[in-house]
Structure 1
Amino acid sequence: MLNKHLKPRFLYNFFNSFRLLFSEVIFPPFVTLWRHRSMLYQTTINEIKTRHAGSMLGLLWLFIYPLLFLGTYAIVYLYIFKVRFPTLGSNEYVALIFCGLIPFLGFSEALSYGVSSVVASANLIKNTLFPIELVPVKAVLVGQATQVVGMGLLLVALTIIGKLSIFSPLFLFIWICQLLFSMGLIWILSSLNVYIRDIQNIVAVLTLILMMLSPIAYTEAMVPAAMRPLLAMNPLYYIIISYQSVLMLHQLPSTRILIPLVSMSLFAFIGGFWFFSRMKKIFSDYV
């Protein structure tokens, strides 16, 4: 008789916990972005224009910046290291580099703008019109300006060399995963930076290390077997390999790449928002 009474109670507690998990942890970050989507769009566009307003070339830097990086990578790996692929010509190899370089630039700029975004926006901490949760998100979106332009240039280049395929549009899904991961990570790092200002300096160094450890101009097969576990510890590895797969190799990313990519993106996005929401309650004591 006791079990008959306990079973309904157990099921009620289980489903109630499940409902609370969705309503208080999983849904809030998505709802917040959707509710303020128009405000985010306008403030992001204004921020991009403001950042380039004082320079002579203005928004042209969005084109020059990725092209300078690409040119440097191409010269170093093609003519100094003399890297060659049996199945890729020089133009195709440059496009392969671009497939990895563009998302890296988008990610690194998101980090650069995002880590100190809360400290730089201390006046918004108690602002109800523009919630402080949106400040790191706006920084990530501003950092995507270079990636938007770079992706446009890359798609034109792929069209010219005949590398577009039915898999190419899937880069949009990978981009969404990258955005979710970046936002979650920046929510965490920007809130920690309020209390530990060294975070922004540490991130600058880590970004350089990530650039060397990310398969931008080399493939996994070129890495010694003993060092490949290091690649698996780098979140950019899953992002870059996925872009290269759908844009250059004309194939879906393998499950060992795709499953970690989706999992880490959702976990970072949901967990980052949850972490930020709890840390923001004492921001005003430190900024």
Structure 2
Amino acid sequence: MTGLIPNLWQYRELVAALAWKNVAVRYKQSYMGILWAVLKPVVLVIIFVILRSIVGIDSGTIPYPVLTYCALTIWIFFQESASEGVNSVVGNTNLIRKIYFPREVFPLTSVVTKLVELCIGLVILAGLMAWYGMAPNWQMLWIPALVLYAILAALTIAFVGAALNVYYRDIAAALPVLLSLMMYMSPVIYPLQLVRDKLLVQHAGGDWSQALYLIFTLNPLAGLIDAFQNVTLRGLPPDAEAILPGLVLTLGLLPFSYLYFKRAEAYFADVI
């Protein structure tokens, strides 16, 4: 794990070049271009608003479209960073066979590429907030730290997934399904406060309520999405009780994920 930051700095120009290539290739022959980065969350927000009108979801004082778009902004960044990170090694077979450089460049490049789309999403979010008369606040200074947390969570999946995907191509096929399930276990459609009220106030899980809430917050995206909504929309700092379990889990698993990747990379060129 100690070699990740030096390698990233040493090969920063390569990461930037590959990221630019990824962005250019992805949208070069697309009529809508980079606007496709906006279409996915907008369509999902519309679906969630329709769903809310049927089942009823309490969003508190925050307009529901803004609340869900805010959650989707950071969720989609994590989801697509992890997905493309898992496919990054197999997708660069020619480079792996021709020249050597630290292979972690590929998952890192996937994350950097998605930062471009995240910035576009944040601009749209700012426009939505202005539309609903919501002013910026000083708690937004937390946003870079929360984005860094999302990057670490995505890399935790990307490193081990990219290494496994070289040997077992089913990993790339299964990951979108698993991440879709993970979205419903994260406060994207509903706010975390609803889960907290059900388990910690109403004790819907009986004697297991406290344990179930802890398990829920072990999902890194649970506390991250709630914190992102807090600092952006509510003018509140991140909720330590909600964010710490997932953060500790992420920081605990990331070194093992990276170590597995580094041990496996010596055989990438032979297997791929």
TM over 0.5: yes
1:108 partnered with 2:79: yes
Equivalent residues in 2 for 1:185-200, closer than 5 Å: 185-200=157-172
The CA distance in 1 between the partners of 2:213 and 2:47, in whole Å, is 25
TM score, norm. by length of structure 1? 0.81
The CA distance in 2 between the partners of 1:246 and 1:210, in whole Å, is 23
1:247 partnered with 2:232: yes
- What CA RMSD, in Å, does the superposition of the two structures yield over aligned residues? 2.2
**Per-residue deviation at 1:237?**
0.8
Shift of the 159–269 alpha-carbon distance from structure 1 to 2, 3 Å rule, reads farther
Q: Answer whether contact 2:155 2:254 (CA < 8 A) is retained.
A: yes
The CA distance in 2 between the partners of 1:235 and 1:105, in whole Å, is 14
Once the two structures are superposed, what CA deviation does each residue of 1:68-120 show, in whole Å capped at 9, x if it has no partner? 2222222222x2223234x415xx22211122111111111123222122112
Shift of the 127–184 alpha-carbon distance from structure 1 to 2, 3 Å rule, reads farther
Q: Answer whether contact 2:83 2:158 (CA < 8 A) is retained.
A: no
Number of equivalences? 258
Choose 1 or 2 for highest CA Rg: 1
In structure 1, what is the equivalent of residue 266 of structure 2? 281
The CA distance in 1 between the partners of 2:250 and 2:219, in whole Å, is 13
Once the two structures are superposed, what CA deviation does each residue of 1:170-228 show, in whole Å capped at 9, x if it has no partner? 11110011112212320111101111221112212111101111101212332332253
The CA distance in 1 between the partners of 2:29 and 2:101, in whole Å, is 26
1:40 partnered with 2:25: no
**Per-residue deviation at 1:44?**
0.6
The CA distance in 1 between the partners of 2:33 and 2:14, in whole Å, is 24
1:120 alignment partner AA? G
1:150 partnered with 2:150: no
Task: Name the stretch that deviates more: 171-180 or 214-223.
Answer: 214-223
Shift of the 144–69 alpha-carbon distance from structure 1 to 2, 3 Å rule, reads farther
1:69 alignment partner AA? L
In structure 1, what is the equivalent of residue 150 of structure 2? 178
In structure 1, what is the equivalent of residue 90 of structure 2? 119
1:247 alignment partner AA? T
Which residues of structure 2 form unaligned runs of 5+? 200-204, 206-211
Q: Answer whether contact 2:85 2:162 (CA < 8 A) is retained.
A: yes
**Per-residue deviation at 1:129?**
5.9
Shift of the 42–283 alpha-carbon distance from structure 1 to 2, 3 Å rule, reads closer
Q: Answer whether contact 1:167 1:251 (CA < 8 A) is retained.
A: yes
Equivalent residues in 2 for 1:1-287, closer than 5 Å: 25=1, 27-77=2-52, 79-85=53-59, 87-88=60-61, 92-128=63-99, 130-160=101-131, 161-223=133-195, 224-225=198-199, 226=205, 227-287=212-272
Shift of the 76–193 alpha-carbon distance from structure 1 to 2, 3 Å rule, reads same
Identity across aligned pairs (percent)? Answer: 24
SS of match in other structure, 2:15: helix
1:29 alignment partner AA? L
The CA distance in 2 between the partners of 1:237 and 1:127, in whole Å, is 41
The CA distance in 2 between the partners of 1:267 and 1:124, in whole Å, is 31
